[in-house]
Structure 1
């Protein structure tokens, strides 16, 4: 039996619940900030001749190499936990890491970055729909208001003026959306027995292996450069940029994201994840000199407002459920539900 954290159920009472929520929000925000840094850093590498495939492959491989030793130590020799969750680890690495990256870059070969990201980040709404239809976790009215505000803000931040859609590109972007949705749903699993850092390590290793395979057969074009990267007016060695991409935007981002999902549930953490797009615009301004427009700034405020309203709505829902009234959601034995891709990057980059 697989147990998901129920977004509407009280997992602790009073001060304990507030403390758990506070830590979860801090971890979710940290994860979004880490992921968002990948876009501007990757854009700097692209300008020197790196291909998106090469950046993503190195980023995930470095992340896996850094996190894996800590993940093994955290297991404390409990290899049964790995064997019990082997299929889940494969799903997490295949969907939450490899598929998100690959589908996103395939999408932007056929359409502009803005609409591709909008489709990818509709994963937050997809998580809401999945939990509602599959597990009966119906969002409250305040949560729905927050969803609407966040969606409107996301459209403004991505500045979709004059964009055109392509059927093939939309299909690949939807694939990325499925991967991101799986990322948040797997993060919310509370019954695995795997420490967050061990789950992150397993997912990154699987993702690195799959991306390496795609590169080996030529489906993920790889080209590199040794030229320094221009960031915030300074020439930064390429190896240092790659190290930050691997350690911070892959390793740390995944570990904190899993910790957030287990404390908040899939629904709230997926909406906090939308702040990745907003903070990516800020980092692009800081590191690349790409000044956001007033429309984008207003959209960012709308996204932030929507995230806050969603969190208030989730808190209100938890308060209306008597302690012990809602049991953990169970899933019949069988194939693991697509449960997440990492958000990827931002306009002009790769998450």
Structure 2
């Protein structure tokens, strides 16, 4: 691959990951636009999104490429954990502000680092510890304000969802041979099961059908965009671009729902966002500096 092709792939990766963050940011407004309980929403999102993700996995498997369809116990563990975190994710949106959920969820990289240290033995970096401590203070401000404003339960669900997804991400690092995207598709299908025992998914009001279909489509689209984009750019850069999901989610909630959280939530959110962006920027800058010598050598070799 020539330098021009590499640069083109890099630009494409940036666009795909940034687009994925924007699509992920629609989750809050779509959840609140659907007049149904969290299990029903999860079931329909899982059915539509799971079908689309399965088609993507099968498309990737054409020829000799793509993931294996054999989950094994590791893949099934990821699938079940993903289903539980998805249900909690949607329930959190139903019980608190969109801004609170997306900001608390933004702390995932730091919780992942903690679980990765406990499960995989990865070193917990100093800058990560500093950013995590700042985030903890910001989340404490948000949750404390929610207790007095009737949103404490939703904030608690957002915290639980964040921990569950962080555990999922840490296990992905531990189970390096597990078919992650296929496990995500199976996880989406598993989300259909609880609704049939507890709720009645067929009772979705006609007015909620378009956002339900859109939710399933955007769920699969965001996963596919992220998967394809992350293949083309460094992990640090993908992490930095992925943080765009937070301002996108808050902006969409304000634009479409006229939802503005209380001052305490905004203050706590600003603290968390400052820590997240600082950490992501440091990762990106460090990765760029580390890659600089190899780029210079490549340029010199091309001149020669």
Q: Scaled by the length of structure 2, what TM-score is found?
A: 0.69
Q: Distance in 2 between matches of 1:85 and 1:99?
A: 18
Check conservation: 2:240, 2:281, Cα contact below 8 A. no
1:35 aligns with 2:19: no
1:127 aligned residue:
112
Q: Distance in 1 between matches of 2:144 and 2:14?
A: 29
More helix by share: 2
1:66 aligns with 2:37: no
1:244 aligns with 2:214: yes
Q: Distance in 1 between matches of 2:143 and 2:157?
A: 20
For the aligned residue pairs, the C-alpha RMSD in angstroms reads: 4.6
Check conservation: 1:85, 1:192, Cα contact below 8 A. no
1:99 aligned residue:
84
- What displacement does 1:81 show? 4.3
Q: Distance in 2 between matches of 1:106 and 1:95?
A: 16
What SS does the aligned partner of 2:147 have?
A: coil
1:208 aligned residue:
188
Q: Distance in 2 between matches of 1:301 and 1:162?
A: 16
- What displacement does 1:34 show? 1.6
Question: Structure 1 pair 150/168, CA: closer, same or farther in 2 (3 Å)?
Answer: closer
Question: Structure 1 pair 45/153, CA: closer, same or farther in 2 (3 Å)?
Answer: same
1:163 aligns with 2:147: yes
Task: Out of 54-63 and 181-190, give the one that drifted further.
Answer: 181-190
* Alignment gaps of 5+ in structure 2: 295-304
What SS does the aligned partner of 1:64 have?
A: helix
Q: Scaled by the length of structure 1, what TM-score is found?
A: 0.61
Q: Distance in 2 between matches of 1:107 and 1:77?
A: 41
Check conservation: 1:94, 1:210, Cα contact below 8 A. yes
Per-residue Cα deviation, 1:262-297 (whole angstroms, up to 9, x for no partner): 6544x8766765553432221111112224566656
Aligned residues: 286
- What displacement does 1:22 show? 6.8
What SS does the aligned partner of 1:76 have?
A: coil
1:336 aligned residue:
none
- What displacement does 1:186 show? 6.2
What SS does the aligned partner of 1:163 have?
A: helix
Q: Distance in 1 between matches of 2:71 and 2:252?
A: 36
Check conservation: 1:187, 1:259, Cα contact below 8 A. no
Per-residue Cα deviation, 1:172-230 (whole angstroms, up to 9, x for no partner): 66652343114544666896496xxxx43x23431233222212222x564634343xx
What SS does the aligned partner of 2:191 have?
A: helix
- What displacement does 1:311 show? 2.4
- What displacement does 1:90 show? 2.5
- What displacement does 1:163 show? 0.7
* Alignment gaps of 5+ in structure 1: 1-13, 229-237, 325-351
